[in-house]
Structure 1
Amino acid sequence: MSSILTNNGAMVALQTLKSINANLTKTQGEISTGKSVASAKDNAAVWAISKVMEADVNGFKAISESLSLGDSTVAVARQATETVTDLLTDIKAKVVAAQEGNVDRAKIQTDISALRDQINSVVGAAQFNGLNLVQGTADVEILSSLDRSNNGTVTASHIKVSRQDLTSTAGTLGSGTDLSANATLSAASATNAGNTQTLTIATDADISGDSFDISIGGATVSFGVGDLTGDESAAATAISGAINALGLVGITASASSGVVTFTSTRAFEDVDLTATKNGGATGVTLSGATIGERAESLTFSASANVNEGDGYQVTVGGSAYTYVAGKNETFEDIARGLKAAVDGGGVSGVTTQVAQNSSGQWQLKIDNGGASSVSLARAGAADGTASGGLFGLGGIDVTTDTGAQAALGNIETLIDNAISAAAEFGSAEGRIETQSNFIGKLTDALKSGIGALVDADMEAASARLQALQVQQQLGTQALSIANQSPQSILSLFR
């Protein structure tokens, strides 16, 4: 049945043409924008995912800039610490030269002062955009990543860079918890008197028929049978004379009523003592096998912890010397810091040394070779202001024998601190560079992933465009033919 009111063929052709035109419009949009998903209506799920990823890409661009800034800041600090290390090494060479007695120590001290001023200048100038990592103790965090969890929560990650304080500030003893129990003094004063042990020969001992070997400080005196004649007093006199004839540094012997007294004024060295009798005589007794070092000791706890701001103070002859721990420091650092403080104080006749005892405890040893005794006291408190990593640099003075000897040990500590600081910054800089490279590759991967989701396949779009254009032409012709169908009904009425 034909109808002039309803043209089914035209309606079908029109719907087909509309569909073709809609697809053609979409394809042309893909070609013009380069995206297959340009808006949420194209594919809501894919569009939402792509926008989240695009936001992350923008965030990672900002992170890359943060890492670049952090890398530059750490690089400046590393270069500064390496320069300080070189300058400290130059100071060490001057200190070593000052160990000779026939050099102009005043001129050497002038050179050391100039190098010290240069170190202070380097430390003060080692900043980037106002941030100086070789001053102060507060850590610096550099934004390194944005971490997105499965539930969509985003958290920021940071690379922590520890400041390495290379100033020579003294620090300030705090007023917090009393820490004095963590440090024990061996005596309340230090004198120049030596320590002693005795060899006692009994009054009824006949030793003329015996042989003796007396060892002290690594040297041995031997007496054969018949060498020691007379009573115990004569034997004691002969033994003491033989010991003194050895000329051992800091070791003397004296005799009185059959007793030989061995005295050692060696500051930081115990002296071993043995006496061996080869005959059958009895009545020869040593009071001890070791003559202890003359120096008094400040011994630190083997079990207590050291926190930043923990300060310890030793008073020598009425003058107080303080060292306050920085981050991650130990009792070794405190002992070495106090040594530098005391050495820099220039107390007449007083020398120091840092060592560990047989229990592994760190000790500051204080020896007094002066004419009069000096009082000793100690204190400790938490919550202080930390001393600088180059504390003691200002106290280096090689114009005297004592100062030159003290400087040799102290400069080694300062060099170790500077090397450790440079190593810390080098490690942090390497980590920042690695993270920066990763962020760059991650950003590229995200961009590639976004492209795979929303970018149009231009080859396919081009082929589809041509096909749709042909379909459009055919659809137009089909609609034209369908529209001519009612015209054929007119012939029935002619």
Structure 2
Amino acid sequence: MSSINTNVAAMTALQTLSQTNKELLVSQNRVSTGLKVKDASDNAAYWSIATTMRSDRAAVSTVEDALGLGAATIEVAVTALNSAIETITKIQAKLVAAYTPGLDRGKIQKEISELQAELRNTASSAVFSGENWLQGDSVAGPSTKTIVASFSRDSTGSIVIGTIELNVGPTGTMLFDTGTGAAAGILDSVASYTLAGTTASFSIAGAGNGIDISGITDDPVDLAGLVAMAEGVDAALKTMTDAATLLGAAKSRTSQQKDFVNKLMDSIDTGIGQLVDADMNEESTRLQALQVRQQLGVQALGIANQSAQMILRLFQS
């Protein structure tokens, strides 16, 4: 039945064309943004997962920055500690040289005093971003420094932050104790020796009661005291070596963790892409097909609208 009030063919063609235009708009948005899931209306589940993963990715990026800061601080401490070890080795060598009869031990003492001053300068200059891990207050200051090393989210959605901890106290990397209490740093430690028949003590750093060999003679008792000084310096050297080992292990772990974090960020980016990125090959093919459908739909609608014009011919004389 032909009707001038209801053109079923035109209505059908219009609905098809409208649907094609909607699909074409979706495909054009995907091509222009590169995303198949741009907001929650596209795919609520994927959008929610991707949003959480983007948040985690930003947190992991912050962890990478924290690891970089920690690695730089460790590097400064390692450099300074290695320099201090070289200096303490020189002091030990001077003490051994002073054992030789006939040497001017007063001049050797002047060299040792300069080396002791160099130790303190080295430790005080080992600062990065306001942090000095070679000297501090053993009472008021923290004995452990923390580096943020990881960020993760468990199955319940709870956040877990991992850290790398480093002992910077007297039993760790602290060379000098700058607090008001009893000095407890590695180079503040006191050793005893006998000089001219009198038992005395000294600190490697030379703070108040430092090494003093200017009055040592070739007397066996004095030479025994000199040996005791050398042994005290050697003990401090061994402890400094242990401290360098701690820093070296922390440096290695920080470097490995930083590499892992970089790979983790790449994996998160890949995972997000799998959820929300559009397949451009597929979308370009689909876009071309929809453009052809749109053109055919316009033509079909035009043909359907012309059918009403044909009814007029029935009434022409």
* Residues 263-315 of structure 1: per-residue CA shift (max 9 Å, x gap): xxxxxxxxxxxxxxxxxxxxxxxxxxxxxxxxxxxxxxxxxxxxxxxxxxxxx
> 8 Å contact 2:56–2:152 — kept in the other structure?
no
TM-score, with length taken from structure 2: 0.87
Q: Could you say what the CA RMSD is over the residues aligned between the two structures, in angstroms? A: 2.3
- Asked if residue 343 in structure 1 is aligned to residue 193 in structure 2, the reply is yes
Counterpart check, 1:396 vs 2:211? yes
Between the aligned partners of 2:6 and 2:250, the Cα distance in structure 1 is: 81
**Structure 1 position 486 matched with structure 2 position 301:** no
Tell me which residue corresponds to 1:410: 232
Unaligned runs of 5+ in 2: 217-221
* Cα displacement (A) at 1:434: 0.7
The reply on whether 1:166 has 2:179 as its aligned counterpart is: no
Using the TM superposition, give the Cα deviation of residue 148 of structure 1 relative to its aligned residue in structure 2, in angstroms: 0.3
The answer (yes or no) to whether the contact 2:135–2:177 under 8 Å persists in 1 is: no
Are 1:429 and 2:251 matched, yes or no? yes
Q: Equivalent residue for 1:142?
A: 147
Whole-angstrom CA distance in 1 between matches of 2:77 and 2:177? 16
2:267 corresponds in structure 1 to: 445
Q: Which one has the largest radius of gyration? A: 1
Residue matched to 2:219 = none
SS in 1 for 2:149: strand
Cα offset for 1:40? 1.1
**TM-score for both structures, normalised by structure 1:** 0.57
**Whole-angstrom CA distance in 2 between matches of 1:62 and 1:147:** 12
Cα drift, residue 168 of structure 1: 6.4
CA contact (8 A) 2:149 2:257 kept: yes
C-alpha distance in 2, partners of 1:391/1:52?
56
- Separation in 2, partners of 1:71, 1:2: 83
Give yes or no for contact 2:27–2:283 (8 Å, CA) kept in 1. Answer: yes
Shift of 1:481: 0.9
Percent pairwise identity: 40
**Aligned length, in residue pairs:** 296
Residue 294 (structure 2) aligns with: 472
Q: Give the Cα–Cα distance (whole angstroms) in 2 for the partners of residues 32 and 483 of structure 1.
A: 34
1:406: how far off?
1.6
**1:419 is the counterpart of 2:234:** no
Tell me how far apart the structure 2 counterparts of residues 444 and 465 of structure 1 sit (CA, whole Å).
30
Contact 1:30/1:456, CA 8 A, preserved across alignment: yes
In 1, the alpha carbon distance for the partners of 2:263 and 2:239 equals 37
Deviations 1:369-422 (A, max 9, x none): xxxxxxxxxxxxxxxxxxxxx954323222322541221110111111111111
CA shift at 1:343, angstroms? 3.2
Contact 2:119 2:205 in 1 (8 A): no
Higher relative contact order (CA 8 A, sep 6+): 2
Greater strand content: 1
Distance in 2 of aligned mates of 1:459 and 1:108: 80
Q: 1:458 deviation in Å?
A: 0.8
Structure 2 partner of 1:74: 74
Q: Which runs of 5+ in 1 are unaligned?
A: 174-322, 327-332, 353-389
Post-superposition Cα deviations, 1:455-478, rounded to whole Å, max 9, x if no partner, equal 111111111111000000111111
Aligned mates of 1:426, 1:447 — CA distance in 2: 32
CA distance in 1, matches of 2:174, 2:196: 28
Deviation at 1:118, TM superposition (A): 0.4
Question: What secondary structure is seen at the aligned counterpart in 1 of 2:193?
Answer: helix
Q: Give the structure 1 partner of residue 157 of structure 2.
A: 152
**Does the CA-based 8 Å contact 1:351-1:406 persist in structure 2?**
no
Closer/same/farther in 2, CA of residues 403 and 448 from structure 1, 3 Å limit = same
Q: Which amino acid aligns with 1:482?
A: A
* Letter of the 2:165 counterpart: K
Alignment of 1:298-337 (within 5 A): 337=189
SS at 1:119 equivalent: helix
Q: Please list the CA deviations of residues 239-281 of structure 1 after superposition, one character each: whole Å capped at 9, or x if unmatched.
A: xxxxxxxxxxxxxxxxxxxxxxxxxxxxxxxxxxxxxxxxxxx
Answer yes or no: is 1:462 the counterpart of 2:284: yes
Structure with higher helix content? 2
Q: Which residue of 2 aligns with 1:5?
A: 5
1:77 and 1:351 mapped to 2: Cα distance?
32
Letter in 1 for 2:248: G
- Pairwise CA distance, 1:491: 2.1
Letter in structure 1 aligned against 2:160: T
Shift of 1:350: 3.1
* CA gap 1:391/1:478 in 2 versus in 1, 3 angstroms: farther
